[in-house]
C-alpha cells in the first residue's frame, strides 16, 4: 500500500521523505556540535583537576613551610639577643622567610583562581551541549513519527512529527545561541 501510494504520487509520502531527510541532516550537524562541546568541556574539566592538584600541592608546601614557625620565633629571639653586628643578618633572614611565605600564598591563590576559571569554561560548554542533546532527542522522535506516518498515511501523526521537529529546531537554535 505504501509503495503503491509512493508510485502514485502521494504528496504526503513525498513530504514525509523530505521532512525526514532534512531532520536527519540536521541531526548529523547537531551530533557533531554536541561531540565538539563535550570534548571541550572534558578538556576544561581536566584542566580544572590538574590545576586543583597544583593548588593543593602549593598549599601543602605552605603548610610545611609554616610548620617551621618555631624556627621563625627562634630567629626573632636570636635577633634580639645577638650582637648588634649580627642582628641585621637575622632580621634579613626573618624578612626572607616572610617574603617566601607571601610568595607561596600568592602562587596558591593564583592557582585557585585558575581552577575557578577552568571550571567556569567547562560549565559554559556543558549547557549548550545539554541543549543539543535535548534537540537531538526531539528530532529523533520526529523522525520516528514520520516513519510511522509513512506506514499509516495518518496526516495527524505527520503534524505531530512536524511539531516535534519544530521543537527540536527551536532548542537547537537556542543551543547555537549559547555557544
**CATH number of the structural domain spanning residue 173:** 1.10.287
Average pLDDT, stretch 49-71?
Answer: 86
On average, the pLDDT of the chain sits at 89
pLDDT mean over 1-29: 81
High-pLDDT (> 90) share of the chain, %: 70
Cell matching residue 89: 643578618
* Nearest CA among 108, 103, 107, 164 for reference residue 137: 164
pLDDT for position 9: 54
> Per-residue pLDDT averaged across 58-78, rounded?
77
Rounded CA-CA distance 106/151 in Å is 68
d(CA 34, CA 127): 10
Question: Which residue, among 22, 163, 54, 141, has the nearest Cα to 155 in the 3D structure?
Answer: 163
Confidence band of 1 (pLDDT split at 50, 70, 90): very low
The model's pTM is 0.70
Give the mean pLDDT of 23-48. 95
- State the average pLDDT over residues 38-60: 95
Q: State how many domains the chain has.
A: 1
* Structural domain for 39, as ranges: 2-177
Amino acid at each position: 500500500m505504501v509503495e503503491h501510494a509512493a508510485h502514485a504520487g502521494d504528496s504526503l509520502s513525498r513530504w514525509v521523505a523530505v521532512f525526514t531527510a532534512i531532520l536527519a541532516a540536521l541531526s548529523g550537524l547537531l551530533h557533531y556540535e554536541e561531540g565538539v562541546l563535550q570534548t571541550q568541556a572534558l578538556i576544561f574539566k581536566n584542566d580544572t583537576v590538574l590545576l586543583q592538584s597544583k593548588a593543593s600541592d602549593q598549599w601543602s608546601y605552605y603548610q610545611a613551610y609554616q610548620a617551621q614557625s618555631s624556627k621563625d620565633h627562634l630567629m626573632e629571639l636570636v635577633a634580639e639577643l645577638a650582637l648588634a653586628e649580627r642582628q641585621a643578618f637575622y632580621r634579613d633572614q626573618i624578612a626572607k622567610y616572610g617574603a617566601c611565605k607571601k610568595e607561596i600564598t600568592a602562587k596558591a591563590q593564583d592557582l585557585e583562581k585558575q581552577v575557578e576559571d577552568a571550571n567556569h569554561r567547562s560549565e559554559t560548554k556543558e549547557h549548550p551541549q545539554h541543549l543539543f542533546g535535548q534537540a537531538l532527542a526531539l528530532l529523533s522522535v520526529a523522525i520516528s513519527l514520520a516513519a510511522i506516518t509513512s506506514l499509516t498515511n495518518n496526516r495527524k501523526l505527520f503534524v505531530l512529527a512536524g511539531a516535534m521537529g519544530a521543537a527540536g529546531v527551536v532548542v537547537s537554535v537556542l543551543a547555537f545561541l549559547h555557544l
